[in-house]
Amino acid sequence: HLSRTLSSKAERDPSTMMNADMDAVEAENQVELEEKTRLINQVLELQHTLEDLSARVDAVKEENLKLKSENQVLGQYIENLMSASSVFQTTDTKSKRK
């Protein structure tokens, strides 16, 4: 009985129906706006994360190049020490004991 009364009242008062429609549209727009805001914030957060990761990759690349260079220097140093040391010199096979 109540639903018939409400529907007949809405039929008699178009402004009430129009206000209800406008409220529904407004609520829907509010939900869409909140969803857009949430997505924009998520995109911004992901952009910041990407920037941080990119900076980290650049730092690691730089450190890697530095370590490679240091390894080459150390390798050359070790090679020079080995060539200067009698322990690492090739020996004559005739002088070896059997």
Per-residue pLDDT of the chain (98 residues; tens, 9 = 90+): 544 444 554 455 556 656 777 888 888 889 999 999 999 999 999 999 999 999 999 999 999 999 999 999 999 999 999 888 877 776 555 555 54
Number of domains in the chain: 1
In a domain, residue 31? The reply is: yes
- Run of H or E including 1: none
If DSSP states are collapsed to H, E and C, what string results for 57-87?
A: HHHHHHHHHHHHHHHHHHHHHHHHHHHHCHH
Domain, as residue range, for 51: 22-84
Return the pLDDT at 27: 87
Q: Counting Cβ atoms within 10 Å, is residue 17 exposed (0-12), middle (13-18) or buried (19+)?
A: middle
In a domain, residue 62? The reply is: yes
In a domain, residue 92? The reply is: no
As a whole number of angstroms, the distance between CA 43 and CA 49 comes to 10
In a domain, residue 61? The reply is: yes
Return the pLDDT at 25: 83
Return the pLDDT at 98: 46
Q: Residue 68 is encoded by which pair of tokens?
A: 């490679």
Return the pLDDT at 20: 74
Output DSSP code: residue 16: H
In a domain, residue 94? The reply is: no
In a domain, residue 28? The reply is: yes
Return the pLDDT at 14: 55
In a domain, residue 8? The reply is: no
Return the pLDDT at 50: 98
In a domain, residue 48? The reply is: yes
